[in-house]
Structure 1
Amino acid sequence: MTAMVGASETSHALSGINSRHLDLLNTHCASCHNEKKSKGKFRIDELSLTIQTTNDAERWQKVLNALNAGEMPPEDEEQVPPLEKADLVDDLGLAMVTLRKKMSDRHGAIAMSRLNRREYRNTLRELLGVEINVSQLPPDHGLGNYDTSGSSLYISSNQIESYLELGR
C-alpha cells in the first residue's frame, strides 16, 4: 500500500498547500513516513493539503523546517531536485505566512490581548521598580496549565479600567 498525502480540500480552510507538490512528497517522503514505517514519529500520509488548525500548521512547519535544514530527505536517499525543492519551500513558507495572518486577524481587526497577572507584576517591577498586588486584576483563565495563551487573555474595557486603577 502506497502512502499518500491527504488530498481533501475544503473552501473553509485557513490556508493550503498546492496539490502539485503531492508527487514530490509521495516520491521522496512516503517510503519512510507512512502507516507501517513512521520515522521520527511523523507520517506524511496524515498530512492534509488544507491547513485548518494549529496542529495542521505545526505538522507542515515541521516539513518546512526539515527541508530548510537539509535534514530531509536524508543524504543516503534520493534527493529532491533543487528547483522542485525551492518551489515547495517557497509555497510552504507563503502558506505559513498567510496562515499566521489569518489566524491573528479577526475580520479585519487585530484581537487585543493582555498580560497575565504574573507578567504584569514582573513588568512593573522591572520597569518601575515597584511591587504591586495583582489580585484586583481579572483572573487568568489559561488553557490547561498555560496562563499565557493569547486566546484566553482577551481584554475588555472593564479590564482596562482595572489595570489603569491598579497603576494609579
Structure 2
Amino acid sequence: MSSNGQSFLLDPEKQAGPTRYSHARVVQPSTHHTIYVSGIAAVKPDGTYEGVVENPDGTFTADVREQTAAVLRRIESIIQGASNGKANLYNIVDATVYILDMKTQYAGMNEEWNKIWADRASAPSRATIGVKELPDPRFMVEIKATAIFEA
C-alpha cells in the first residue's frame, strides 16, 4: 500500500484517458494523522502572485499551468510543514480543484496535475469544479486537499 492508502479503481484494466485520479482511496486511520489543507491559490506569503503578469495599465494576464504548479508546490510545503517532514503531495488522499473555465483551463490544470501523479493508482481521488469566481480576480485555480501520514 502506498503512503496515501490503497487505490480503488472501478475498472482497473481499462484506460481512463488523459485524466489521472483514483476513484477512491482506502485508508486505515488508526495509525495515521490527517491534514486538511484549506483552499490554496497561487499567492505567496509576501502577497505576490505566481503565474500572473501585471501589466502597466493595471490589467493582468494569468496562466493556469503556472498557477496549478505553484498551488501544488504550496500545498506540498504546507503538508511537509504540518507533518514535520513526514509527508508530501503523495500523501494526499482527496483533492478538490476549483477552476474558472472548464473549457479553456481544465486541460492545462490537468497537465500539471499529471506531472505529479504518474498514474491513476498513485493519484488521490479528485473532483474538479468550474466556478464563477475565486476570491481574487487573478486566481484561475484553487485546490483544497486532505492528506494522511503515519504517526
Same fold at TM > 0.5: no
- When normalised by structure 1's length, the TM-score is 0.22
- Between 1 and 2, higher relative CO (CA 8 Å, sep ≥ 6) is seen in 2
Q: Which has the higher strand share?
A: 2
- When normalised by structure 2's length, the TM-score is 0.23
Structure index of larger Rg:
1
